[in-house]
Structure formats: structure tokens, C-alpha cells
């Protein structure tokens, strides 16, 4: 088929309602499971803690209450359904129509994965900004009552552009993550399917892809957290990504770029495993599996 035929076939077969339902399910399950670990990661990235992941988590529960583990969860719950829909849909489109990626270790899957980044980073930047501000709000004094109160207060004080604090570094981080995410997933998926059933291969491949991709992109996330988590009222602490990187290297060394990597890797494995399971499960319900209908059978 030529590219126009491929586009027609892709859009005729793709059901956006089903994609959105799969993305919503993946977003809710993944966020509820992974959010407490994301909070621990943020605290470890932005503050000096002598203990590890468990020590930080117990400290938060003791001093702030167990409900604080879910402070700031509203923005990711609302946004992840949209982000997952854009991410998986754009990946499928570019893989099938533009780059013609193959199952297994194919760099075209890497290129396909990162193509949606400029679009959904417009959503993830303000979501990450509000979430980070909320997660750090309990440290000294509690200022914000909810995520909406946090966003509206900061917009009123600093203007609407404040929501896009750290947008450049967040977009680069998203591109690095998504490129490695789908590349590793496709490679491990094909490898594991030769040795185990799909119901095990998909979540294990997804979990490993998430963990490895987070490890690869984690220094960028650490810098993003530093940019987005600063006190906006303190102009003396107004620093960009380069300044944050220099400060981290000076005060913590190279290891500072991986502060909080433990909970992030654990969270990534759980979230990514459930996310790919939900996505491929939806396609199995729709057409008997992801590869049951596709480019390979219609060329």
C-alpha cells in the first residue's frame, strides 16, 4: 500500500473511543498505584534526606498523615487519560504509516515513540508543575487546599505562563523517555513472547521498559523537579535547568542526579506493566490482539 492507503486504513480501523477508554483505565490504575512512590521520589529529588525510600515514606506518613501520600493526585488523574491516548495513538500512527516499524528491536519504533511528545508535553508540563508544587507544599507550611487552588493561586500571583515553568526540560525528558520506552518494550515483548504467554510477556516487558526508560531519563526528571519545585516567591532561587544541573553537581555530585531513583524505578515497573496490559487488553477485546490486524496483513 502507498502512504495514502496506509493512512486511510489506519484511521478506518482505529477506534478513538476505545483508545480513550484504554488510556483512561491505564491512567487511573497506574496513577493510583504509582502516585505515593512518585511523592517519595519528588521529596528525595528536592530535599536532603539521609535515609532511603522506606525511611522517607515513613517520615511522610508520621509527620503529615497517610492521606498526604495522595496530595496533588488530581492533575495526573485528569490528564493521564488524554496523555495516554495521544501517546499510544501517535505511536501507532507513526509506526504503521510513517516509519513502518517492525516488531522487535527496530530503531523506527524509537522514532515513532517520541513523535507525540511536542503535543502531550503541553499537558504534562502544567500537570507536573502543579503536582510538584503540591507534593512540596507540606514540607514547611501548608499553603494550598487542593490542586485547583494551587494552580489558580499561582496563576493569579505570577500569570498563566507560570504553569509552563520548566517546559523545555520537561519536553526533552518526555522525548528521551518515550523513545526508549517503546523501543525497549517492542524488543522485550518480542523476546518474551518466544518464552512465555502474552498475559505474562506484555506486563513484564512493559514493566522492564518503564524501569529502564526511567533510569535513562531520570537525570532530566531530577532537573525538572528542581526547576518546577522551587519557591516562586523567592526570586533569589529563580534558576533555570542549567543552573539547577550545576547546583546538583556541586552539592550532591553525579549521584545527585539519581536522588529518588529507587521509588521511581519501582513505580515505573508497576505503572508501565499495568499500562501496557490495559492497552493491549483493550486491543485484544476489539480485534483479538494488537498484531491480529495491521500493516503486515494489508501490504
**Grid coordinates standing for 78?**
485528569
Mean pLDDT of the chain: 80
CB contact at 8 A, 41 and 264: yes
Which tens digits make up the pLDDT trace of 167-196? 999 999 999 999 999 999 999 999 999 888
Nearest by Cα to 89 from 109, 113, 111: 113
Instruction: State the pTM of this model.
Output: 0.77
Q: Pick 284 or 75 by higher pLDDT.
A: 284
pLDDT tens for each residue of 203-235: 999 999 999 999 999 899 888 988 888 877 766
Question: Best-predicted range by mean pLDDT among 51-60, 79-88, 136-145, 270-279?
Answer: 270-279
Among 140-144, 148-152, 166-170, which stretch is predicted with the lowest mean pLDDT?
140-144
* pLDDT number for residue 237: 60
Q: Are residues 1 and 8 in contact, defined by beta-carbon separation less than 8 angstroms?
A: no
Q: Name 67's Cβ contacts closer than 8 Å, sequence gap at least 6.
A: none
Comparing 194 with 32, the larger pLDDT belongs to 194
Closest CA to 274 of 36, 16, 15, 28: 28
Residue 299: pLDDT over 50: no
Amino acid at each position: 500500500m502507498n502512504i495514502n492507503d496506509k493512512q486511510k486504513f489506519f484511521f478506518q480501523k482505529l477506534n478513538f473511543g476505545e483508545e480513550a477508554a484504554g488510556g483512561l483505565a491505564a491512567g487511573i490504575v497506574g496513577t493510583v498505584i504509582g502516585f505515593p512512590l512518585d511523592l517519595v521520589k519528588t521529596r528525595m529529588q528536592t530535599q536532603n534526606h539521609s535515609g532511603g525510600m522506606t525511611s522517607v515514606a515513613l517520615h511522610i506518613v508520621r509527620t503529615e498523615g497517610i492521606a498526604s501520600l495522595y496530595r496533588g493526585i488530581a492533575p495526573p488523574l485528569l490528564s493521564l487519560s488524554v496523555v495516554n491516548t495521544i501517546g499510544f495513538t501517535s505511536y501507532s500512527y507513526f509506526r504503521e504509516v510513517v516509519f513502518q516499524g517492525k516488531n522487535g528491536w527496530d530503531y523506527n519504533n524509537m522514532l515513532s515513540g517520541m513523535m507525540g511528545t511536542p503535543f502531550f508535553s503541553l499537558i504534562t508540563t502544567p500537570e507536573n508543575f502543579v503536582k510538584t508544587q503540591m507534593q512540596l507544599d507540606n514540607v514547611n507550611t501548608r499553603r494550598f487546599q487542593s490542586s485547583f487552588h494551587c494552580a489558580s493561586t499561582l496563576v493569579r500571583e505570577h500569570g498563566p505562563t507560570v504553569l509552563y515553568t520548566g517546559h523545555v526540560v520537561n519536553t526533552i525528558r518526555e522525548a528521551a523517555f518515550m523513545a526508549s520506552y517503546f523501543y525497549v518494550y517492542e524488543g522485550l515483548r518480542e523476546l518474551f513472547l518466544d518464552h512465555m504467554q502474552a498475559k505474562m510477556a506484555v506486563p513484564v516487558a512493559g514493566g522492564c521498559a518503564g524501569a529502564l526508560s526511567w533510569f535513562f531519563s531520570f537525570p532530566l526528571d531530577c532537573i525538572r523537579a528542581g526547576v518546577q519545585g522551587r519557591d516562586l516567591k523567592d526570586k533569589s532561587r529563580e534558576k533555570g535547568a542549567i543552573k539547577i544541573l550545576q547546583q546538583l553537581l556541586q552539592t550532591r555530585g553525579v549521584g545527585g542526579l539519581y536522588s529518588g531513583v529507587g521509588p521511581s524505578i519501582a513505580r515505573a515497573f508497576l505503572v508501565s506493566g499495568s499500562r501496557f496490559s490495559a492497552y493491549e487488553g483493550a486491543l485484544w477485546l476489539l480485534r483479538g490482539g494488537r498484531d491480529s490486524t495491521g500493516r503486515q496483513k494489508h501490504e
